[in-house]
Structure 1
Protein backbone atom coordinates (compact mmCIF):
# COMPACT_ATOMS: atom_id res chain seq x y z
CA UNK A 1 0.00 0.00 0.00
CA UNK A 2 1.42 3.32 -1.06
CA UNK A 3 1.02 6.33 1.16
CA UNK A 4 1.82 9.92 0.23
CA UNK A 5 2.01 12.49 2.99
CA UNK A 6 0.34 15.88 2.58
CA UNK A 7 3.01 18.40 1.48
CA UNK A 8 2.25 20.80 4.34
CA UNK A 9 2.76 18.03 6.92
CA UNK A 10 5.97 16.90 5.24
CA UNK A 11 7.28 20.48 5.30
CA UNK A 12 6.59 20.83 9.03
CA UNK A 13 8.24 17.49 9.83
CA UNK A 14 11.31 18.49 7.83
CA UNK A 15 11.40 21.89 9.55
CA UNK A 16 11.45 20.32 13.03
CA UNK A 17 13.98 17.69 11.87
CA UNK A 18 11.60 14.90 12.86
CA UNK A 19 13.68 12.07 11.38
CA UNK A 20 16.87 13.13 13.16
CA UNK A 21 15.04 13.59 16.46
CA UNK A 22 13.39 10.18 16.06
CA UNK A 23 16.75 8.51 15.42
CA UNK A 24 18.28 10.11 18.54
CA UNK A 25 15.36 9.02 20.75
CA UNK A 26 15.28 5.58 19.20
CA UNK A 27 18.96 5.04 19.89
CA UNK A 28 18.68 6.47 23.40
CA UNK A 29 15.88 4.12 24.44
CA UNK A 30 16.75 1.09 22.36
CA UNK A 31 16.91 -2.03 24.47
CA UNK A 32 18.88 -5.16 23.84
CA UNK A 33 16.39 -7.81 22.63
CA UNK A 34 18.82 -10.54 23.70
CA UNK A 35 19.10 -9.24 27.26
CA UNK A 36 16.69 -11.25 29.40
CA UNK A 37 16.84 -8.50 32.07
CA UNK A 38 15.60 -5.90 29.57
CA UNK A 39 12.20 -7.51 29.00
CA UNK A 40 8.83 -7.29 30.65
CA UNK A 41 8.42 -10.45 32.60
CA UNK A 42 5.01 -11.21 33.99
CA UNK A 43 2.10 -8.98 33.14
CA UNK A 44 -1.65 -9.40 33.20
CA UNK A 45 -2.91 -9.12 29.62
CA UNK A 46 -6.41 -8.19 30.77
CA UNK A 47 -5.05 -5.44 33.04
CA UNK A 48 -2.95 -4.00 30.18
CA UNK A 49 -6.02 -4.13 27.88
CA UNK A 50 -8.05 -2.32 30.54
CA UNK A 51 -5.42 0.41 30.90
CA UNK A 52 -5.30 1.01 27.13
CA UNK A 53 -9.10 1.11 26.91
CA UNK A 54 -9.31 3.58 29.81
CA UNK A 55 -6.86 5.80 27.91
CA UNK A 56 -9.16 5.72 24.86
CA UNK A 57 -7.28 3.20 22.74
CA UNK A 58 -8.62 0.17 20.91
CA UNK A 59 -6.34 -2.76 21.79
CA UNK A 60 -5.91 -6.42 20.96
CA UNK A 61 -3.24 -8.83 22.12
CA UNK A 62 -1.66 -11.13 19.54
CA UNK A 63 -0.76 -14.18 21.63
CA UNK A 64 1.22 -15.81 18.82
CA UNK A 65 3.56 -12.84 18.46
CA UNK A 66 3.17 -11.65 22.09
CA UNK A 67 2.37 -8.16 20.85
CA UNK A 68 -0.26 -5.55 21.72
CA UNK A 69 -1.93 -3.98 18.69
CA UNK A 70 -3.02 -0.51 19.74
CA UNK A 71 -5.01 2.08 17.79
CA UNK A 72 -6.95 5.25 18.40
CA UNK A 73 -10.70 4.93 18.33
CA UNK A 74 -11.81 7.98 16.41
CA UNK A 75 -14.37 8.47 13.70
CA UNK A 76 -12.83 11.71 12.48
CA UNK A 77 -12.89 12.04 8.67
CA UNK A 78 -9.67 14.08 8.85
CA UNK A 79 -7.29 11.32 9.87
CA UNK A 80 -6.93 7.66 10.63
CA UNK A 81 -4.47 6.13 13.05
Structure 2
Protein backbone atom coordinates (compact mmCIF):
# COMPACT_ATOMS: atom_id res chain seq x y z
CA UNK A 1 0.00 0.00 0.00
CA UNK A 2 1.31 3.41 -0.95
CA UNK A 3 1.90 6.11 1.64
CA UNK A 4 -0.82 8.79 1.51
CA UNK A 5 1.73 11.50 0.66
CA UNK A 6 3.04 9.42 -2.26
CA UNK A 7 -0.52 8.88 -3.52
CA UNK A 8 -1.24 12.61 -3.25
CA UNK A 9 1.88 13.54 -5.21
CA UNK A 10 1.41 10.89 -7.92
CA UNK A 11 -2.18 11.98 -8.43
CA UNK A 12 -1.20 15.66 -8.39
CA UNK A 13 1.42 15.22 -11.12
CA UNK A 14 -1.00 13.08 -13.19
CA UNK A 15 1.39 10.13 -13.07
CA UNK A 16 -0.97 7.54 -14.58
CA UNK A 17 -2.05 9.74 -17.47
CA UNK A 18 1.52 10.72 -18.29
CA UNK A 19 2.78 7.14 -18.04
CA UNK A 20 -0.01 5.94 -20.36
CA UNK A 21 0.81 8.76 -22.78
CA UNK A 22 4.46 7.65 -23.07
CA UNK A 23 3.44 4.00 -23.47
CA UNK A 24 0.88 4.88 -26.17
CA UNK A 25 3.30 7.09 -28.09
CA UNK A 26 5.88 4.27 -28.20
CA UNK A 27 3.54 1.33 -28.74
CA UNK A 28 5.49 -0.59 -31.34
CA UNK A 29 5.69 -4.27 -32.13
CA UNK A 30 8.30 -6.03 -30.00
CA UNK A 31 10.05 -7.37 -33.10
CA UNK A 32 10.82 -3.73 -34.08
CA UNK A 33 12.61 -3.04 -30.78
CA UNK A 34 16.25 -2.06 -30.47
CA UNK A 35 17.58 -4.82 -28.25
CA UNK A 36 21.28 -4.51 -29.04
CA UNK A 37 21.88 -1.08 -27.59
CA UNK A 38 25.31 -0.09 -26.32
CA UNK A 39 25.24 0.62 -22.55
CA UNK A 40 27.94 3.29 -22.91
CA UNK A 41 25.82 5.10 -25.51
CA UNK A 42 22.79 4.94 -23.19
CA UNK A 43 24.87 6.29 -20.31
CA UNK A 44 25.96 9.15 -22.55
CA UNK A 45 22.31 9.92 -23.44
CA UNK A 46 21.34 9.94 -19.75
CA UNK A 47 24.33 12.17 -18.94
CA UNK A 48 23.29 14.54 -21.76
CA UNK A 49 19.85 14.73 -20.13
CA UNK A 50 21.53 15.95 -16.94
CA UNK A 51 21.90 12.86 -14.74
CA UNK A 52 24.82 10.98 -13.24
CA UNK A 53 24.17 7.31 -13.93
CA UNK A 54 25.82 3.99 -13.26
CA UNK A 55 25.27 0.71 -15.09
CA UNK A 56 24.86 -2.58 -13.25
CA UNK A 57 26.40 -5.06 -15.70
CA UNK A 58 25.23 -8.14 -13.83
CA UNK A 59 21.57 -7.11 -13.56
CA UNK A 60 21.68 -4.97 -16.74
CA UNK A 61 20.02 -1.81 -15.51
CA UNK A 62 20.94 1.84 -15.19
CA UNK A 63 20.77 3.53 -11.78
CA UNK A 64 20.44 7.16 -10.77
CA UNK A 65 20.64 8.02 -7.08
CA UNK A 66 20.02 11.54 -5.83
CA UNK A 67 20.00 12.73 -2.24
CA UNK A 68 18.29 15.85 -0.96
CA UNK A 69 18.29 15.56 2.81
CA UNK A 70 16.23 13.96 4.29
CA UNK A 71 15.25 12.25 1.00
CA UNK A 72 17.03 9.79 -1.26
CA UNK A 73 15.55 9.09 -4.69
CA UNK A 74 16.57 6.14 -6.82
CA UNK A 75 15.55 5.78 -10.46
CA UNK A 76 16.42 2.48 -12.12
CA UNK A 77 16.00 1.98 -15.84
CA UNK A 78 15.82 -1.44 -17.44
CA UNK A 79 15.98 -1.65 -21.22
CA UNK A 80 15.64 -5.41 -21.68
CA UNK A 81 14.27 -6.52 -25.05
CA UNK A 82 14.16 -2.91 -26.28
CA UNK A 83 11.42 -1.92 -23.83
CA UNK A 84 11.91 0.80 -21.23
CA UNK A 85 10.91 -0.14 -17.69
CA UNK A 86 11.20 2.41 -14.92
CA UNK A 87 11.61 1.57 -11.23
CA UNK A 88 11.49 4.18 -8.48
CA UNK A 89 12.43 4.05 -4.82
CA UNK A 90 12.20 6.84 -2.27
CA UNK A 91 13.56 6.94 1.26
CA UNK A 92 12.96 9.55 3.93
CA UNK A 93 15.91 9.35 6.27
CA UNK A 94 16.42 5.56 6.27
CA UNK A 95 12.74 4.62 5.88
CA UNK A 96 11.63 3.27 2.50
CA UNK A 97 8.55 5.25 1.50
CA UNK A 98 7.99 3.78 -1.95
CA UNK A 99 9.53 1.26 -4.28
CA UNK A 100 8.43 -0.45 -7.46
CA UNK A 101 8.02 -0.37 -11.19
CA UNK A 102 5.83 2.23 -12.79
CA UNK A 103 3.40 -0.57 -13.63
CA UNK A 104 3.09 -1.57 -9.98
CA UNK A 105 2.74 2.07 -8.88
CA UNK A 106 -0.06 2.53 -11.41
CA UNK A 107 -1.87 -0.57 -10.12
CA UNK A 108 -1.51 0.58 -6.51
CA UNK A 109 -2.92 3.97 -7.44
CA UNK A 110 -5.94 2.90 -9.47
CA UNK A 111 -6.42 -0.71 -8.34
CA UNK A 112 -6.87 -1.87 -11.94
CA UNK A 113 -4.73 -4.96 -12.39
CA UNK A 114 -6.45 -5.79 -15.69
CA UNK A 115 -5.53 -2.38 -17.16
CA UNK A 116 -1.81 -2.99 -17.61
CA UNK A 117 0.26 -0.40 -19.43
CA UNK A 118 2.74 -1.80 -21.93
CA UNK A 119 6.32 -0.70 -21.54
CA UNK A 120 7.36 1.83 -24.18
CA UNK A 121 9.33 0.24 -27.02
CA UNK A 122 12.24 2.06 -28.63
CA UNK A 123 13.61 1.34 -32.09
CA UNK A 124 16.67 3.59 -32.00
CA UNK A 125 18.65 5.91 -29.74
CA UNK A 126 16.60 8.96 -30.70
CA UNK A 127 13.35 7.34 -29.55
CA UNK A 128 15.06 6.14 -26.39
CA UNK A 129 16.23 9.69 -25.67
CA UNK A 130 12.66 11.00 -26.14
CA UNK A 131 11.25 8.30 -23.83
CA UNK A 132 13.87 9.06 -21.19
CA UNK A 133 13.29 12.83 -21.46
CA UNK A 134 9.55 12.27 -20.89
CA UNK A 135 10.23 9.90 -17.97
CA UNK A 136 12.68 12.36 -16.40
CA UNK A 137 10.10 15.12 -16.68
CA UNK A 138 7.69 13.02 -14.59
CA UNK A 139 10.53 12.17 -12.18
CA UNK A 140 11.47 15.83 -11.71
CA UNK A 141 7.84 16.76 -11.02
CA UNK A 142 7.59 13.91 -8.53
CA UNK A 143 10.78 14.92 -6.69
CA UNK A 144 9.77 18.58 -6.54
CA UNK A 145 6.25 17.87 -5.26
CA UNK A 146 7.27 15.17 -2.80
CA UNK A 147 10.14 17.22 -1.36
CA UNK A 148 7.73 20.11 -0.79
CA UNK A 149 5.45 18.08 1.51
Q: CA deviation at 1:48?
A: 4.0
Q: CA deviation at 1:53?
A: 5.3
| RMSD over equivalenced CA pairs, Å | 3.3
Where does structure 1 lack aligned partners over 5 or more consecutive residues?
none
When residues 24 and 48 of structure 1 are mapped into structure 2, their CA distance, relative to the original with a 3 A threshold, is closer
Larger Rg: 1
Question: What is residue 79 of structure 1 aligned with on the other side?
Answer: 72
- Contact 1:53 1:59 (8 Å CA) reproduced: no
Where does structure 2 lack aligned partners over 5 or more consecutive residues?
75-149
Question: What is residue 30 of structure 1 aligned with on the other side?
Answer: 27
Question: What is residue 53 of structure 2 aligned with on the other side?
Answer: 58
Number of corresponding residues:
72
SS state at 2:30 partner: coil
Alpha-carbon distance in structure 1 between the residues aligned to 2:37 and 2:16: 34
Q: Quick check: which one's strand share is greater?
A: 2
Q: CA deviation at 1:26?
A: 1.0
Is 2:12 the partner of 1:19?
no
When residues 14 and 40 of structure 1 are mapped into structure 2, their CA distance, relative to the original with a 3 A threshold, is same
Q: Which has the higher contact order (CA 8 A, sep 6+)?
A: 2
Alpha-carbon distance in structure 1 between the residues aligned to 2:44 and 2:19: 29
When residues 29 and 78 of structure 1 are mapped into structure 2, their CA distance, relative to the original with a 3 A threshold, is same
When residues 48 and 4 of structure 1 are mapped into structure 2, their CA distance, relative to the original with a 3 A threshold, is same
- Contact 1:58 1:70 (8 Å CA) reproduced: yes
